[in-house]
Chains A and B, each alone.
Chain A
Amino acid sequence: MLLFLTRRILIALPTIILISIFVFALQKLLPGDPLLVLAGEERDPAVLELLREKYRLNDPIVVQYFTWVSNALQGDLGISLRTNQPVTELMLQKLPVTLQLAAMSMIFALVIGVPAGILSAYKKGSLTDYIANVVALSGLSIPNFWLGIMLILLVSVKWQLLPASGYVPLSEDFLQSIRTMLMPSFVLGTALAATMMRHTRSAMLGVLSADYVRTARAKGLTERRVVLKHAFRNALTPIVTLTALLFGELVAGAVLTEQIFTIPGFGKMVVDAVFNRDYAVVQGIVLVTAVGFIFMNLVADALYFILNPRLRGQ
């Protein structure tokens, strides 16, 4: 296991280095001088020079890159030009909000996607299968920001059942926090549920025709036991790894969902940073999400290893 993980980490290292080069290059390719934003209206050449010295922008580009990387490795992703706060501190403030949204969305995705996938595979070719497929494809085709707008219109404006926007921390008021997050996480969760349903269906189709399932049926086990214990348990490996791999979709989906429901999380921070030309924050978020994605890939690999006895035996 340790050897397997070490190998995977070693393979991931060049990717992380390339990501850091790419993220660093983003700012360097930018037309114009980022310091002009910092220098404000006056743009006094002396002030600009001073700032250039302060941020070591006169250093050769390679030196600048290594300084940036070594700072990033120590958790220093620079200073937000707008709020003057460290980018890492800003991100840590927003992290719990997005984590709550992500966790609740994942619950929706699992609760809707997995049973729908099992049912669809078990009843392959039936009306249930057809409906489940149509719903899943529709889920993949609906822009989630539009679904969010429509839900606000119906659930909040017309029926006044749930709040349309905002965020209440879990520690402040647990129930209100869940109520506020319910609609956004449903919106984000439905798109993931569609992906989850399709993967569960295909994994289940693979195992439902396996010999051990036929043997289980021949032994006289109930269908429920055959499907849930013998088939589903074997189809679980790709589903669990997919859950880890959906991290990227989750973060990208959070950008728009948080924007619509005015949730002060990671996603809203990146959009605000883009409009305020706060490039240090944009860079920080791209770097952290990309490294996060690689980490989730490693988690997926590790889970695959743990759940697959054949791999463990090697």
Chain B
Amino acid sequence: MTETTAPMMQEQLGKAENRVWKKFRSHRSALLGGILVSFFVLIAVLAPILPIPDPATTSWSAVRKAPSMAHWMGTDEIGRDVMARLIWGAQASLLAGVVSVGIAMCLGVPLGILAGYFGGWTDAIISRCTEALLAAPFLILAIALAAFLGPSLTNAMIAIGISATPIFIRLTRGQVLNVRSEDYVDSARAIGLPTPKILRRYILPNVLPPILVQATLTIATAIIAEASLSFLGLGQQAPAPSWGSMLNTAKNFLNQAPWMAMWPGISIFLVVLGFNLLGDGLRDALDPREH
């Protein structure tokens, strides 16, 4: 890149970023999604310093108490504060969402780039494996993997991460196929840049936007998957709180303590809705056809 073209490109890049941000800001539902996600991230991060009771402290004098001034969201079957468990449970849910999507991206993006850029046998092998993994329904695969790995939050995150990997391989591969024949990639090859550098500097940055959109939407799916696994007893283990395991216990006390089931469900719904709105908004903002 020459010295005169560099500032021009910087300026154009700045303009594009500005346009995307403006578009995103004007997307009211995406902003609502951002607010919802930020709220849950904030309470999850601040959980240790918030003035709430210990989520594991039981109280036999406060078993299944309805919401009151002392316990805003009521108490559970062994007298633990539901709100405290909900706030600490947000940590497990968000962590599971982000870590499992992180695993899926770390595995899926490089494999997708390899398949798309090199084509031939590399592509054939990676693509067939991707199709095989995609054939097993996402939750069934996650349940099977979690079962074989053993029940724990870490294993649930690994299971969800592996199950979500093929989505990223396929998406990245498709994007790379679009980008690899672009003039700037041809030029990079023509001036003799080594392949790893071409992949890192020219391919990856150009395929990243749709992958980020997909990542946001997959976090929503991963949070539901973690809640489902914990609900089935394959995720977060007692006494550590998680929204899914709270619902699992709550279903046994529906008649006596319906609030136990209400709050975790509403929380899952709101955070998942937040990520879905955010993902939809990002997709619209980053879609060049919309400009």
The 8 A CB mask of B132-152 against A (1 = contact, 0 = none) is 110111111101111110000
Chain B count of residues within 8 A CB distance of the other chain = 43
Q: Give residues of chain A (245-287) contacting chain B, Cβ–Cβ below 8 Å.
A: 248-249, 251-253, 255-256, 259-260, 270-271, 274-275, 279, 282, 285-286
* Residues of chain A contacted by B269 (CB below 8 angstroms): 138, 141-143, 146
**Count of CB-CB pairs between chains A and B under 8 Å:** 125
In the complex formed, the residue of B with least CB distance to A22 is: B132
Per the bound structure, the CA–CA distance linking A29 and B131 in Å amounts to 21
Q: Are A294 and B135 in contact (CB under 8 A)?
A: yes
CB distance from B138 to the nearest CB of A (A): 6
Q: Answer yes or no: A149 CB below 8 A from chain B CBs.
A: yes
Q: Answer yes or no: B90 CB below 8 A from chain A CBs.
A: no
CB distance from B105 to the nearest CB of A (A): 21
Q: Answer yes or no: A128 CB below 8 A from chain B CBs.
A: no
Partner of A150, one of B135, B144, B148, B265: B265
Q: Are B254 and A149 in contact (CB under 8 A)?
A: yes
* Residues of chain A contacted by B251 (CB below 8 angstroms): 149, 152, 260
Per the bound structure, the CA–CA distance linking A282 and B232 in Å amounts to 15
Q: Answer yes or no: B129 CB below 8 A from chain A CBs.
A: yes
Q: Answer yes or no: B273 CB below 8 A from chain A CBs.
A: yes
* Residues of chain A contacted by B273 (CB below 8 angstroms): 137-138, 141
The 8 A CB mask of A146-159 against B (1 = contact, 0 = none) is 11011011000100
The 8 A CB mask of A208-220 against B (1 = contact, 0 = none) is 0000000000000
The 8 A CB mask of A127-144 against B (1 = contact, 0 = none) is 000000000011011110
In the complex formed, the residue of A with least CB distance to B223 is: A143
Q: Are B272 and A271 in contact (CB under 8 A)?
A: no
In the complex formed, the residue of A with least CB distance to B251 is: A149
Q: Answer yes or no: B86 CB below 8 A from chain A CBs.
A: no
Q: Answer yes or no: B247 CB below 8 A from chain A CBs.
A: yes
Q: Answer yes or no: A19 CB below 8 A from chain B CBs.
A: yes
Q: Are A256 and B231 in contact (CB under 8 A)?
A: yes
Q: Answer yes or no: B261 CB below 8 A from chain A CBs.
A: yes
Q: Answer yes or no: A64 CB below 8 A from chain B CBs.
A: no
